[in-house]
């Protein structure tokens, strides 16, 4: 639930954060929590909260304090094991006024300090303000389900769930950080703490940041993905035992997410294995009506209706579908980017923005999704490609080894010349670097990096003068001891999962319409268990999510378990270049708009746009755009939209009156006059 924001004076700055400014901040993120607003203010700090009420609707208001009103919290998210933690804390003598998980955090922090965070099983971004010691503590969940941004400037610290709340303060400079865009055009996301905006930091997932009264700060990383360094033979469970254990952990994780809510929780159904299994377990956890939601596409190549309906029928859910067209995608894209606050290389978030609107309109505030299964249990092709390339690299001259790609992509076997030779050439690149850390992801990063050819000369030199951080330069010390799969999983989790899938395609698209996502596969215990499994339980030969398919037997229709994995995609470039595309596309990719932003070489960008328009004008329906051109159009357009909305503007939707349900203001008028 919720959106949080605040301002804290560090060091010598004395004037208290203004109420008007704090109100502007919470107004900027009101979509995250339109049910209630709250503010706390003292002479050094101001905290604001927009609430989406899901737990303890009557008394869970924020900001919330400890018994003596010295420790204050604003919190976005859920601590799913709060009931168990509360018992532990009561045994230690803590007394509670509410039934919320928020109050549990305050007491847990009093009892255990920073040691409380690893005890939480949940998804959170929070700020704790100790008004006695003038200490600010910020923390984020392990994997970064909930967002948190920080800005330090002129003796102050701003923090917020979304960057736009920080930009609500006009004194904060707004500028694109070339390093953040360079990373996005490599990894599909900027790498925390770098963001798209100069001076704005993203708090690292799984970390804590503490600001002390003297303005000093320190960061603590309490969690990173970790994999076994012991031989697979040492794993104590047989495949059957591990299957049973995983099933039990997933059921517990799903049950917690269904029952730890005082409102109904629904589920997404993509048509794939992960969300089907999640929905099945969710259905089992709670009596009554169970709402499910699916995206359908007018373009048949992306559509999965058959499998979605099969699952909905299996669990007898109240199923709703939304048909998405290219026109819909193009129309909502600017609003989508106002919520992602960063460029994207595919349009896939747009249908999810429309879907969460349907969820909200149907009266549901929280949904389960299958997000995380592919990263935890090796569902993606990139893992299988890495295994084949690894195997091939041991005999690079072998003609037989690369034939394994035909098992991965059956179409290769059907088209002897065309695709195969080209595809193999693509995967052959870097084969001699099999032992190096980025081996699994090098083909993707190399392809994506081609987008940088659109950078203007000035922008390129700005990147070169401050080279951005490389994900490979900050690996855990034991990375080199992990097997091929674990290394690839780690890289996938810290780049695409955290920075794109659960952010641009997850939290932001859900919260845009005030809907909370809950992800059983990202449960702390499920992640720990999956990461500890030997590789061959996850990827058996080339059989992906091997153990999960065993868990799903009898719970999910066989045709869903055994269907080839279909990545979730939506129509990309074609949505913006076909006849009848919205006028903003031409405006934002116009020579003058490109030159004003200064990021891209106007001639190159116009060249790509013209090429795609020409191709779209060709055959009516089935227009093949290359991967590079698709990423190019979507990447350029979304970057231009970020610039126009957040650098020229502040990214905040107009209107929105804020009436506080909770208002604690410890700065009296007299005190204020005393300082002036």
Q: Give me the residues that bind other proteins (CB under 8 A), please.
A: 415-426, 429, 446-447, 449-450, 453-454, 601, 603-608, 611, 624-629
Q: How far is the CB of 607 from other proteins (least distance, A)?
A: 3
Hey, CA dihedral for 665, 670, 671, 676, is it positive or negative? positive
For the bound state, the minimum distance from the C-beta of residue 423 to other proteins, rounded and expressed in Å, comes to: 6
Asked whether the beta carbons of 487 and 436 are under 8 A apart, the reply is: no
83/424 with CB nearer other proteins: 424
Residue 92 or 419: which CB sits closer to other proteins?
Answer: 419
Smallest separation (angstroms) from other proteins to the CB of 262: 50
Q: Comparing C-alpha atoms, which of 304, 367, 354 is closest to residue 328?
A: 354
> CA–CA separation, 515 vs 508, rounded Å?
10
Residue 302 or 521 having the CB closest to other proteins: 302
Please state the closest distance from residue 443 (CB atom) to other proteins, in A: 10
DSSP string for residues in 300-347: GGG--HHHHHHHHHHHT-EEEEEEE-HHHHHHHHHHHHHHH-S--SSS
Helix axes 178-187, 457-465, angle to 10 degrees: 90
Report the residue number, 210 or 404, with the smaller CB distance to other proteins.
404
Cβ proximity to other proteins: between 551 and 636 the closer is 636
Between residues 221 and 610, which has the closer beta carbon with respect to other proteins? 610
Give the nearest distance from C-beta 389 to other proteins in angstroms.
Answer: 14
Which C-beta is closer to other proteins: that of 97 or that of 414? 414
Q: Report the nearest approach of other proteins to the CB of residue 447 (Å).
A: 6
As a three-state string, the secondary structure of 553-591 is CCCCCHHHHCCCCCCCCCCCCHHHHCCCCCHHHHHHCCH
Cα–Cα dist 38/62, whole Å: 6
Take residue 676 and report the two structure tokens written for it: 């002036």
CB of 599 to other proteins, least distance (A): 15
Kindly tell me which of 13 and 453 has the beta carbon lying closer to other proteins: 453
Tell me which H or E stretch contains 619. Answer: none
CB 446 → other proteins: shortest distance, Å? 5
Q: How far is the CB of 602 from other proteins (least distance, A)?
A: 10
Least gap, CB of 453 to other proteins (angstroms): 6
Which residue, 233 or 416, is less far from other proteins as judged by CB?
A: 416
We find the least distance from the C-beta atom of residue 153 to other proteins, in angstroms, to be 38
> 468 or 632: whose CB is closer to other proteins?
632
Distance CA 164, CA 653 (A): 10
Least CB distance to other proteins at residue 94 (A): 58
118: left (phi over 0), alpha (psi -120 to 50) or beta: alpha
The Cα–Cα gap between 597 and 610 comes to 19
Q: Which residue has the tokens 């007394």?
A: 95
Rounded Cα distance between 534 and 485, Å, is: 10
- Return d(Cα 413, Cα 328) in angstroms, integer: 36
Residue 449 CB, nearest approach to other proteins (Å) = 7
Contact between 651 and 197 under an 8 Å Cβ cutoff? The reply is no
**Taking the complex as a whole, how short is the minimal distance between the CB of residue 572 and other proteins, in angstroms?**
12
Interacting residues of 379 by C-beta distance below 8 A, sequence separation 6+: 273, 274, 373, 544, 545, 548, 565
Instruction: Output the CA torsion sign for 352, 353, 354, 355.
Output: positive
Residue among 413 and 624 whose Cβ is closer to other proteins: 624
Q: How far is the CB of 386 from other proteins (least distance, A)?
A: 18
- Smaller CB separation from other proteins, 255 or 606: 606
Q: How crowded is residue 135: how many other Cβ atoms within 10 Å of its Cβ?
A: 15
The Cα 339–Cα 163 span in angstroms is 10
Burial of 353 (0-12, 13-18, 19+ CB in 10 A): buried
Contact 546, 144 (CB under 8 A): no
Q: Report the residue number, 259 or 610, with the smaller CB distance to other proteins.
A: 610
Look at strands 149-153 and 64-65 and give their pairing. unpaired
Kindly list the distances between the CA atom of residue 369 and the CA atoms of 182, 276, 453, in Å, as whole numbers in the listed order. Answer: 30, 9, 36
CA 213 to chain centre: 32
CB neighbourhood size of 124 (10 A): 23
Sorted by sequence, the CB contacts under 8 Å of residue 478 that are 6+ apart come out as: 226, 229
- Residue closer to other proteins by CB (options 433, 559) is 433
Residue 453: count of CB within 10 angstroms of its CB: 14
79-113 as b/e, with b when 16 or more CB fall inside 10 Å? bbbbeebbebbeeeebeeeebbbbbbbbbbbbbbe
In angstroms, give the least distance from the CB of 582 to other proteins: 23
Contacts of 493 (CB under 8 A, 6+ apart): 143, 225, 375
119 versus 453: smaller Cβ distance to other proteins: 453
Q: Return the number of the residue (195 or 613) whose C-beta is nearest other proteins.
A: 613
């Amino acid at each position: 639930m919720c959106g949080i924001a605040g301002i804290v004076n560090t060091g010598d700055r004395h004037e208290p954060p203004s109420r008007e400014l704090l109100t502007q901040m919470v107004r900027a993120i009101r979509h995250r929590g339109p049910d209630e607003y709250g503010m706390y203010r003292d002479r050094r700090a101001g905290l604001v909260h927009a609430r989406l009420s899901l737990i303890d609707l009557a008394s869970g208001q924020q900001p919330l304090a400890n018994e003596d009103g010295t420790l204050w919290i604003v919190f976005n998210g859920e601590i799913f094991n709060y009931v168990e933690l509360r018992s532990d804390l009561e045994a230690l003598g803590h007394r509670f006024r509410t039934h919320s998980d928020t109050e549990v955090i305050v007491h847990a922090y009093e009892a255990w300090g920073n040691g409380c965070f690893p005890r939480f099983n949940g998804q959170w971004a929070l700020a704790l303000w100790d008004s006695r010691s003038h200490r600010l503590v910020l923390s984020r969940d392990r994997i970064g389900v909930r967002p948190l941004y920080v800005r330090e400037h002129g003796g102050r610290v701003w923090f917020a769930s979304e960057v736009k709340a920080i930009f609500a303060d006009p004194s904060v400079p707004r500028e694109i950080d070339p390093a953040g865009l360079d990373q996005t055009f490599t990894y599909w996301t900027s790498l925390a703490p770098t963001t798209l905006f100069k001076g704005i930091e993203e708090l690292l997932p799984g970390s804590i940041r503490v600001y002390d009264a003297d303005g000093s700060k320190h960061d603590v990383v309490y969690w990173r993905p970790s994999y076994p360094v012991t031989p697979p033979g040492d794993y104590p469970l047989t495949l059957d035992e591990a299957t049973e254990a995983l099933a039990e952990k997933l059921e517990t994780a799903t049950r917690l997410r269904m029952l730890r809510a005082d409102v109904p929780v629904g589920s997404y159904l993509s048509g794939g294995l992960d969300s089907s299994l999640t929905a099945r377990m969710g259905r089992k956890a709670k009596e009554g009506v169970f709402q499910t939601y699916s995206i359908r596409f007018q373009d048949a190549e992306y559509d999965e209706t058959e499998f979605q309906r099969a699952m909905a029928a299996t669990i007898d859910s109240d199923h709703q579908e939304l048909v998405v067209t290219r026109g819909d995608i193009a129309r909502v894209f600017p609003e989508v980017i106002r919520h992602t606050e960063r460029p994207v290389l595919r349009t896939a978030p747009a249908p999810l923005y429309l879907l969460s609107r349907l969820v909200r309109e149907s009266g549901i505030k929280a949904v389960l999704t299958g997000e995380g299964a592919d990263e935890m249990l090796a569902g993606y092709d990139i893992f299988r490609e890495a295994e084949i390339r690894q195997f091939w690299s041991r005999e690079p001259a072998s003609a037989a080894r690369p034939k394994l790609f035909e098992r991965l992509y059956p179409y290769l076997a059907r088209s002897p010349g065309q695709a195969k030779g080209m595809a193999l050439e693509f995967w052959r690149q870097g084969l001699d670097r099999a032992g190096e850390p980025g081996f699994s992801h090098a083909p993707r990063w190399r392809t994506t990096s081609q987008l940088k050819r659109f950078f203007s000369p000035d922008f390129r030199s700005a990147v070169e003068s401050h080279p951005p951080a490389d994900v490979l330069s900050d690996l855990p010390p034991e990375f080199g001891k992990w097997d091929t799969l674990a290394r690839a999983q780690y890289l996938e989790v810290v780049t695409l999962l955290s920075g794109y899938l659960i952010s641009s395609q997850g939290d932001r698209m859900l919260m845009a319409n005030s809907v909370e996502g809950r992800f059983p596969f990202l449960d702390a215990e499920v992640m720990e268990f999956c990461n500890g499994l030997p590789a061959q339980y996850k990827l058996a030969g080339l059989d992906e999510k091997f153990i999960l398919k065993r868990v799903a037997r009898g719970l999910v229709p066989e045709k869903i378990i055994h269907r080839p994995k279909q990545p979730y995609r939506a129509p990309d470039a074609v949505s913006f270049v076909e006849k009848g595309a919205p006028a903003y596309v031409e405006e934002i990719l116009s020579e003058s708009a490109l030159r004003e932003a200064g990021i891209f070489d106007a001639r190159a960008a116009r060249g790509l746009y013209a090429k795609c328009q020409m191709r779209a004008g060709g055959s009516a329906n089935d227009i093949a755009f290359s991967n590079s051109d698709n990423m190019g159009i979507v990447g350029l357009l979304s970057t231009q939209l970020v610039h126009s909305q957040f650098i020229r503007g502040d990214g905040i939707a107009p209107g929105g009156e804020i009436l506080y349900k909770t208002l604690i203001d410890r700065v009296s008028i007299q005190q204020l006059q005393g300082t002036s």
